[in-house]
């Protein structure tokens, strides 16, 4: 098979699924809005039930809902009929996902899902199925064509389930007025959370190199060499006067002047870029990038507090 044939197959797959998504978009109606309202007003959590490929989709929907402010839990249909139904409380809402709506496990389960919960919402491609019969609301995910050439592997149908789950999550986010800082609370260990909530203080260097304005070049070299940042801060009682980098030292030496009388104030760069320790780490990264520098002087109430390093932020996923 030629590469062009492979690309053609991929494009055809996407075209089929895009077409089915457009149909789903066009048939959305008040049933979807009612489902969102029921989930939003529930006193309990959302239980998402599925089996087979729908179970994988259900797990993803639960993950998205939990991270966007809608408490949810996945329940596998085959486990539910063997004891796990106890996870459902009367104040919970159930979203059951099944393309056919007539899988044996679903057929055996739907009456319990309805009776044990406050509401049963069915996401199915078959509006005459057992799942549809027992559901208070039906979210219609039928497809005219699966992308699979044998019409066997769930492809378009699972794409619609996934997309409709995202639509539910986003609508609920808006109803809950769920903001970026709320999102970050549920992602403290990932780069998303770190970029949204981490402060400069979280990534401060343990080293705090400094010299006074009247220190000699030797003092400056010792200070810079004593830290791994290639910089020292010129201070006067913690007031920041300037900075000296190893690049400043090299440029001074290249001039060939007598360095025995050169003081820190003679080679420093005045008015260095600074940031408060309580600022977001992302703000520090932006300053570093915009000014093409590797270190930033950190302050507390305007006084010298420490150093934050570009590489440390990159290593921690701040971008």
Annotated binding site: 76
Give the pairing of strands 274-276 and 46-50.
unpaired
Q: How far, in Å, CA of 273 to CA of 229, rounded?
A: 15
SS3 assignment, position 75: strand
CA atoms of 227 and 215, how far apart (whole Å): 17
Which of the 8 DSSP states describes residue 268? P
Q: Please answer whether residues 98 and 140 qualify as being in contact, where contact means their C-beta atoms are separated by less than 8 angstroms.
A: no
Residues 296 and 273: beta-carbon distance below 8 Å: yes
DSSP of 209-229: -EEETT-BHHHHHHHHHTSSS
**Sequence ranges of the binding site for Zn(2+):** 76
| Phi, psi torsion values for 137, nearest 5 degrees | -135, 140
Contacts of 97 by beta carbon, 8 Å cutoff, 6+ apart: 48, 49, 50, 54, 55, 57, 58, 61, 123, 124, 161
Asked if 248 and 267 count as a contact pair (C-beta separation under 8 A), the reply is yes
**199 SS3 class:** strand
Q: Whole-angstrom Cα distance, residue 300 to residue 144?
A: 63
| Euclidean distance between CA atoms 3 and 97, whole angstroms | 37
8-state DSSP, 303: E
Cα–Cα distance between 319 and 304 in angstroms, integer? 24
């Amino acid at each position: 098979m030629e590469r062009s044939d492979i690309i053609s197959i991929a494009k055809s797959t996407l075209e089929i699924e895009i077409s089915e998504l457009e149909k789903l978009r066009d048939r959305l109606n008040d049933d979807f809005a009612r489902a969102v309202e029921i989930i939003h007003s529930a006193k309990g959590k959302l239980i998402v039930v599925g089996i087979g490929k729908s179970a994988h989709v259900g797990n993803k929907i639960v993950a998205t809902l939990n991270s966007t402010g809608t408490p949810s839990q996945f329940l596998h249909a085959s486990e539910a009929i063997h004891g796990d139904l106890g996870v459902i409380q009367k104040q919970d809402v159930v979203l059951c996902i099944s393309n056919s709506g007539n899988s044996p496990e679903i057929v055996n389960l739907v009456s319990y899902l309805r009776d044990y919960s406050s509401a049963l919402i069915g996401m199915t491609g078959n509006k005459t199925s057992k799942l549809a019969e027992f559901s208070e609301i039906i979210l219609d995910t039928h497809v005219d064509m699966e992308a699979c050439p044998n019409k066997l592997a769930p492809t378009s149908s699972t794409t619609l389930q996934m997309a409709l789950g995202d639509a539910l999550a986003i609508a609920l986010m808006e109803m809950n007025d769920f903001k970026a800082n709320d999102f970050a609370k549920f992602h403290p260990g990932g780069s998303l959370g770190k970029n949204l909530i981490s402060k400069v203080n979280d990534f401060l260097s343990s080293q705090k190199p400094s010299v006074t304005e009247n220190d000699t070049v030797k003092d400056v070299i010792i200070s810079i060499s004593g830290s791994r940042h290639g910089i020292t801060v010129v201070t006067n009682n913690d007031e920041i006067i300037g900075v000296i980098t190893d690049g400043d030292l090299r440029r001074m030496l290249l001039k060939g002047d007598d360095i025995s009388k050169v003081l820190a104030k003679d080679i420093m760069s005045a008015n260095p870029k600074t940031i408060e320790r309580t600022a977001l780490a992302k703000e520090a990264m932006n300053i570093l990038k915009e000014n093409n520098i590797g270190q930033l002087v950190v302050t507390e109430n305007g006084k010298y507090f420490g150093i934050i390093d570009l590489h440390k932020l990159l290593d921690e996923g701040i971008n």
